[in-house]
Every structure is written in structure tokens, then in C-alpha cells.
Amino acid sequence: MQTRTLGRSGLSVSALGLGCMGLSHAYGPATERGEAIRLLRGAHERGVTFFDTAEAYAQGANEELLGEALAPVRDAVVIATKFGFAKGVTTEGLDSRPDTIRAVTDAALRRLRTDHIDLLYQHRVDPDVPIEEVAGTVRELIAAGKVRHFGLSEAAPEAIRRAHAVQPVTALQSEYSLWWREPEAEILPLLDELGIGFVPFSPLGRGFLSGAIDASTTFAADDFRNQLPRFSAAARQANQALVDLIATLAKERDATPAQVALAWLLAQRPWIVPIPGTTKLHRLEENLAAVDVVLDGDALARIDAALAGIAIEGDRYSPAQQQFVRR
């Protein structure tokens, strides 16, 4: 597995990390614990050193899972987790008050079975707490040895600048993929300027870009995608043109659509580290092989030209969910 450094922070991680949310939260029933632990340990055995979780993923259960699975290799991996949702529940609103940040961090340390968190993100910017206060609190946690690096998620450029001035931001985590390119306008140039790494979540469009989902796909009743406008049957049908394009490019390279989608992200900047999630070992292996798929300048130009002719249908979040991003 290749490695990459997140911005100018010096934090080196595998070129592809593992988003662990889906093992416990959001995409239907949680994966059986033993199976999930085998997947996590299998990821490390295959070179993954960067694992992403959050308090809000099943109210800490995902952190507990990682803590158990990665305990034997703790010193060889980088664990990222997040604070910011009230009571650790995404539907309860936001809470980034300093006392809450400190309490959530201590709880995460216990669940993760560790004495430090490598990368601690604010999950969403809290408009009721000045970002400088949030950054200052994390700075204190870093000084205390409980946290190594500070990150933000789905933050707007102004918030990133203000936080970075108080405590250098190591990484921004936001959605970025072939069907959500909004970060290219302002976010990527800003991160380049400030020396901040970028960690795209949902790099495979929550599974859509892999080609495994179409207009006829039915999701489990508690699957988060049922709430997303972009995953309505009509939107999936309209967006099939993008999947068809990726499939064509993949066939030309003897690769899979998922590998092309990840390779495209890796080609955008040397400090981008996508974190695709999966619950299946064969999908994990497929994703990790994306580091060997090379897209040269001509291929990237062809993709850009083709994408310019495809109009993506459907918002990525509902209005209620959208209020929490780009603050």
C-alpha cells in the first residue's frame, strides 16, 4: 500500500483509508461483530493504516468496535474520530461547547482503548460556538497529549481559515467524488494554500458509482439513502449516464468502476486520502487495488470533458440535513 501525507502536517497514512461508519450505522443492520472485526483486521493486514469513526456512529458503538479490533496493532494505525452532535445523535442537533468536546474526547479514548486520538474532527461546525473556541479547546487537548491532530468536517472556507489561525488544521473531511465536485471551486485551492490534507468521504457516491446500484435497487428500511434526494428512483435513473461513463473507462483499463472512481480522486491532489467504506472483504480488496490504476493527463481530460455533458440530478442531502454543511 502506498502512503500519503495529509497536507503539511507530517501525518502519514495509507493512500486509501477505511470509512467505518457502515459497519454500525446508516446503511441498514449493523454487521455482525465478529465479521466486522475480521474486516478491520483484514484491512490492516492489507496495508490500511487510516481508520475513520465518530461518536455519532451508533452512539459510540463504532468506536468500541474499532477499539477492540485494532488494539493488537494500535501503534501501527492512525485512528480518526469526531465530536459535535448533541448526545452523539445526528438528529439531536449540534453541540461543540468546550466541556462537551472534552467529555466526548475522554469517552472516545475509553471506547477506542487508547491513550490518544490521532486525528480529532469537529463533525459539523456549530454556529452557537465560535470556531476559535473549538480550535482552542482541541489545542488544549493536544497539549495534554490526548489528541495529536485537529480536523474539520464539511466546514466552509471562512471557518477553516479562522480555526487554522488558532490551531493548525491537519485535514478537512468532506464529500467529494465524480458526482459531487463542489469542493473544487473553493475548498481545494484553500487547502492547497494552507497546507491542509483532504479526506473525501463517500468517494464512491454511497455505492452508486460502483455500478452495484440502479433505479430498481431497494434499500433496507433503515438505510440512510432512503432520505437522500439523489437516491430517489428517478434520480438514480437520470444519473445512470455517469455510471455508464465510469464503466466504459474501467473496461478500457481492465479495472472496475469503483477502482476508476477512486483512482480519479487520488489523481486530483497528492494530499487527498479517500476513505471508502465497505462491509465485505472482497470489496475492500477491490477498492485497495485502485492505487495501481493510473489515470494520465489525457484520461483525466477525457473524464472532465465527458462529465461536462452530464447533468447530475438530485440534491445530496434533504433541506434538514443540508443545514449542517458548509458552515
Cα(128)–Cα(229) distance, integer angstroms: 28
Cell output for 51? 481508520
Cα(82)–Cα(307) distance, integer angstroms: 33
Residues 6 or more apart from 152 whose CB is under 8 A from it?
121, 122, 125, 159, 160, 163, 169, 171, 172, 173
Contact, 75 vs 113, CB < 8 A? no
Distances (CA, A) of 258 to 58, 244, 261, 321: 27, 12, 5, 26
Cα(273)–Cα(50) distance, integer angstroms: 9
3-class DSSP state of 280: coil
The active-site residue, picked from 57, 121, 176, 317, is 57
Going through the chain in order, the beta strands assigned E by DSSP cover 3-5, 12-14, 18-19, 50-52, 78-83, 117-122, 147-153, 169-175, 197-201
> Side chain identity at 277, as an amino acid letter?
G
Cell output for 109? 479514548
Residues 6 or more apart from 210 whose CB is under 8 A from it?
204, 256, 257, 258, 261
E strand or H helix that includes residue 251: helix 240-252
Cα(143)–Cα(167) distance, integer angstroms: 11
317 is catalytic: no
Task: Please report, to the nearest 10 degrees, the dihedral formed by the alpha carbons of residues 26, 48, 35, 247 taken in order.
Answer: 60
The catalytic residue positions are 57
